[in-house]
Amino acid sequence: MQFWAAYVPCDTQYKDAVRQTLEQIDVIHRMCQKYPEIFMFASSSQDILKAFNMNKTASLIGVEGGHSLDSSLGTLRTMYQLGVRYLTLTHSCNTPWVDNWLVDTGSEPSEHNGLSSFGKQVIAEMNRLGMLIDLAHVSEEVMNQVLTLSKAPVIFSHSSAYAVCPHKRNVPDDVLRRVNETKGIVMVNFYNDYVTCSNTAKLSDVADHFDHIKKVAGADIIGFGGDYDGVPRVPEGLEDVSKVPNLVAELLRRGWTDEEVKAALGNNLLRVMSEVEKVRDSMSNEIPDDVPIPNEDVQNPCRTSFGYPSTTGSNGSAHSLSTLALLITLVLQAWITSTV
């Protein structure tokens, strides 16, 4: 199986990020339609198993960067309906509701001390939808906040072990242990800079990250998150996906059992996806969150204020779409309560 990243650069934030992301989603769907003998579009753990049994590559969508939402829960829900099954909360820029990993380097200021109030709404809505929460690219404060807030296990789609390579894109040992406690997964990145903190790396260096994560938090939280086509250099011996069996052989040589390797290759992620789906099903009676991010948090020249209470006008009679949506939500909640 493969997660295809519907990624657009941070430069699109406050501009055309949503359109650009939808176009990437469209490309993934069209790719699966054009090559049906190779790819099968998948949106669930059962779809993955079905594709596997058909000897096809299960193709899922991940949106890499919360800026792709334009701070809209409606956009989040729409992307889920289009098949998006994980959202990386940030890429390499803060959004109006969450801090990114560069905050920990000191090169960018923290804007939200982790998650803002709206950021916490995003986490709750992702749980309700059944969308995987991806903590690659976020600050350490965000990692810990989400691990506390989320009802479902989380993923790090492409991050390695900080103790082996102290790069802020990697995962510290205390967070690895919390991922174990919450039954999530850390999918090891193959990018040289995150493997050895230098321009060069070897396959054995990647295996060192697997060994360290296994030692600290167990083999049950490990996955393969190569980040191919997302980075400019990868280790010698892991130049492309055809070389992944070489890494499997190295892990077996180091004493990993067949069961542990199979878990890292796919069973761990299948378990996490299944648990996320169970949480979704347990929340099926909950109503979608219609409370928007505060307008002052997203005001900029490229964004209108439609949907927010009018602060101008001759008679002040303009109605807020968000207020109307909230009223509808309250009426629905009252009706559900009265019929239960």
**Could you report the per-residue pLDDT of 51-90, keeping only the tens digit for each?**
999 999 999 999 999 999 999 999 999 999 999 999 999 9
pLDDT at 230: 87
Show the low-confidence residues of the chain (pLDDT under 70): 311-340
For 116-162, the pLDDT digits (tens) are 999 999 999 999 999 999 999 999 999 999 999 999 999 999 999 99
Q: Count CA atoms closer than 13 A to 326's CA, side-chain side.
A: 10
The model's pTM is 0.91
pLDDT at 276: 98
pLDDT at 238: 97
Contact 31, 23 (CB under 8 A): no
pLDDT at 307: 86
Token digits for 69? 């939402």
Contact 126, 279 (CB under 8 A): no
